[in-house]
Chain A
Amino acid sequence: NAGVTQTPKFRVLKTGQSMTLLCAQDMNHEYMYWYRQDPGMGLRLIHYSVGEGTTAKGEVPDGYNVSRLKKQNFLLGLESAAPSQTSVYFCASSWTTYYNEQFFGPGTRLTVL
């Protein structure tokens, strides 16, 4: 039981490049989330999904796209990376939101030059 895993752990991109971050969970959770964490800002929700095939925007969705084709996977895409997207990205999952904890992955540290 690996919990929530994220791939890759580190990545350096040049401005304008694209990439996809992969999140996988083996707990059969319905809900999945992508956050970014910046110094002094706490965690901010980018996008989330309440079930396979569904996605919704969070607080800071601009510049990102997501897909949830399989229940266990939640992909975060950057089509044209910008230096402002330099951050640590965390994926999380939960059964639902009501009275349920979120389980977090270890994070992906992304630097955009």
Chain B
Amino acid sequence: SQQGEEDPQALSIQEGENATMNCSYKTSINNLQWYRQNSGRGLVHLILIRSNEREKHSGRLRVTLDTSKKSSSLLITASRAADTASYFCATDSGTYKYIFGTGTRLKVLA
């Protein structure tokens, strides 16, 4: 079964707008990561947030983590057409492996 579930499954916005996607998970974690996948390509790491962190920034990306609600959100500010991709969260529960969610498909319209 999937540990992470992203919401929404698909999101379409205009260039310049902000995009927010959420990830919920079931068990306690050591850390949570977000990845991007362009169509037909492998996944690329975006950002990692540890279980004792609440918020992290990287460029136009802002990630929050609420361990009490077992959820995380990824905010992409001032989106660009090049941000069009699928976004996945992945959780590490300390078992030598990550569990990936089902992903959010983001489409940014120029």
Tell me which of A14-22, A69-77, A99-107 binds B: A99-107
Is B96 touching A56 in the complex (CB atoms < 8 A)? yes
Is A102 touching B45 in the complex (CB atoms < 8 A)? yes
A105 partner residues in chain B, CB cutoff 8 A: 42
User: Residues of A within 8 Å of B, CB-based: how many?
Assistant: 27
Contact among B42, B97, B102 for A97, CB-based, below 8 A: B97
* Nearest chain B CB to A94 CB, angstrom units: 9
Is A97 touching B92 in the complex (CB atoms < 8 A)? yes
B97 partner residues in chain A, CB cutoff 8 A: 33, 45, 48, 58, 97
Is B11 in the interface zone, CB < 8 Å from A? Answer: no
Chain B residue, CB-CB nearest to A40: B102
Within residues 69 to 113 of chain A, which ones have a CB less than 8 A from any CB in chain B?
Answer: 90, 92, 97-99, 101-107
Is B96 touching A97 in the complex (CB atoms < 8 A)? yes
Contact among A31, A41, A59 for B96, CB-based, below 8 A: A31
Within residues 49 to 88 of chain B, which ones have a CB less than 8 A from any CB in chain A?
Answer: 50, 88
Best-surrounded residue of B31, B43, B48, B90 (most CB of chain A within 10 A): B43
Is A43 touching B100 in the complex (CB atoms < 8 A)? yes
B96 partner residues in chain A, CB cutoff 8 A: 31, 48, 50, 56, 97
Are A107 and B88 CB-contacts (below 8 A) given A33-B97, A41-B102, A101-B48?
A: no
* Nearest chain B CB to A105 CB, angstrom units: 6
Is B43 touching A99 in the complex (CB atoms < 8 A)? no
* Nearest chain B CB to A109 CB, angstrom units: 9
Is B13 in the interface zone, CB < 8 Å from A? Answer: no
Is A97 touching B98 in the complex (CB atoms < 8 A)? yes
B2 partner residues in chain A, CB cutoff 8 A: 41-42
